[in-house]
């Protein structure tokens, strides 16, 4: 699935573990929260709040990404974004990433350069640093990322705080990554904006702390599909949530791609994952911050409905299903 490397390219086996570590860490700027970065037995990250938000995700080649569909830099950005969005979804500001690379011995060093460059770029976009990690030999390319964050004195926004009478709102793109996956699966590489959403998502990191400050009662990032993920809030909070399609934003670009592929763009919006938008509940409509869109309501009961009815198709992605 991956492109053939140039014949004269160095491999990770030739450069060696410590040479590779120096290659991906040297000369990289760090934010003020990084008190001690790569190079010691462990990093030291400031935690002014006294509490640390932490999240981990693992990306496996062939399952979460394909190197014939994405550049190494895009894969690195995607790996960082998946974790940084989880931190933002707790209402925290991202501070640091810890990264583990498991690499086949014939992996070209330029591929690792691209992966690490994407990780550093996305971390910087969120205001975080890459402070450490590990590298090991493995038959399959695997990237494991742990993200840390600071709550800045706010209470964490969990999945269990939604209550009847709350409203449901979202911030960020929905359905774009799913549409991009459909386009790539048909062998196309455009529209570039749609395909790019699958290759390297752009979560609204600042929207998490913004929602926490506005009094969000529950929140998560949409990684597996809107209905599936909102279902986690409903279950954890012991409530029912109804999503209204007349309020759901469906971008014209999704409509155009859906028309070209014979697909329903609203289905992408309702069930597509990997955009890492944020979904949250708020006690009152007036509490919903600017740039968020209200799309539903919280009621007594259980489960998730669409326009008052169960959704007939799968609500999103789940491993091993």
Residue 189 CA, chain-centre distance (Å), reads 22
CB atoms within 10 A of CB 52: 15
Q: How far is CA 263 from CA 200, 305, 306, 316, in A?
A: 22, 21, 19, 16
Is residue 55 a known part of a binding site?
A: yes
Is residue 275 a known part of a binding site?
A: no
Partner residues linked to 102 by β-bridges: 136, 142
Is residue 217 a known part of a binding site?
A: no
Is residue 221 a known part of a binding site?
A: yes
Is residue 213 a known part of a binding site?
A: no
Is residue 133 a known part of a binding site?
A: yes
Is residue 224 a known part of a binding site?
A: yes
Is residue 8 a known part of a binding site?
A: no
Is residue 41 a known part of a binding site?
A: yes
Which residues contribute to the annotated binding site?
41, 55-57, 64, 86, 133-134, 159, 221, 223-224, 274, 317
Residue numbers belonging to the annotated binding site for Mg(2+): 41, 55-57, 86, 134, 221, 224
Annotated binding site for substrate, which residues? 64, 274, 317
Annotated binding site for ATP: 133-134, 159, 223
């Amino acid at each position: 699935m991956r492109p053939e490397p140039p014949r004269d390219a160095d491999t990770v086996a030739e450069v060696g573990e410590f040479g590779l570590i120096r290659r991906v860490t040297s000369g990289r700027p760090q934010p003020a929260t990084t008190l001690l970065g790569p190079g010691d037995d462990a990093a030291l990250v400031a935690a002014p709040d006294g509490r640390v938000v932490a999240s981990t995700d693992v990306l496996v080649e062939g399952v979460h990404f394909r190197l014939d569909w994405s550049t190494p830099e895009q894969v690195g950005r995607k790996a960082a974004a998946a974790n940084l969005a989880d931190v933002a979804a707790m209402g925290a500001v991202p501070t640091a990433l810890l990264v583990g690379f498991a690499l086949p011995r014939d992996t070209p060093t330029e591929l690792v350069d691209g992966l690490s460059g994407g990780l550093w770029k996305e971390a910087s976009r969120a205001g975080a640093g890459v402070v450490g990690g590990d590298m090991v030999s493995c038959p399959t390319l695997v990237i494991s990322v742990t993200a840390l964050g600071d709550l800045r004195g706010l209470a964490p926004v969990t999945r269990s705080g939604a209550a009847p009478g709350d409203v449901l709102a979202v911030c960020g793109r929905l359905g774009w990554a799913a549409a991009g996956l459909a386009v790539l699966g048909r062998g196309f590489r455009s529209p570039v904006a749609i395909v790019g959403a699958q290759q390297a998502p752009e979560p609204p990191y600042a929207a998490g702390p913004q929602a926490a400050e506005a009094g969000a009662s529950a929140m998560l990032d949409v990684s597996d599909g809107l209905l599936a993920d909102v279902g986690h809030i409903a279950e954890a909070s012991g409530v029912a949530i109804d999503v209204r399609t007349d309020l759901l934003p469906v971008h014209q670009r999704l409509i155009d791609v859906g028309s070209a592929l014979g697909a329903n763009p609203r289905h992408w919006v309702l069930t597509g994952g990997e955009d890492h938008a944020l979904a949250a509940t708020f006690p009152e409509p007036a509490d919903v911050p600017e740039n968020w869109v209200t799309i539903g309501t919280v009621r007594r009961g259980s489960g998730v409905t669409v326009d008052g009815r169960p959704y007939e198709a799968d609500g999103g992605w789940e491993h091993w299903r």
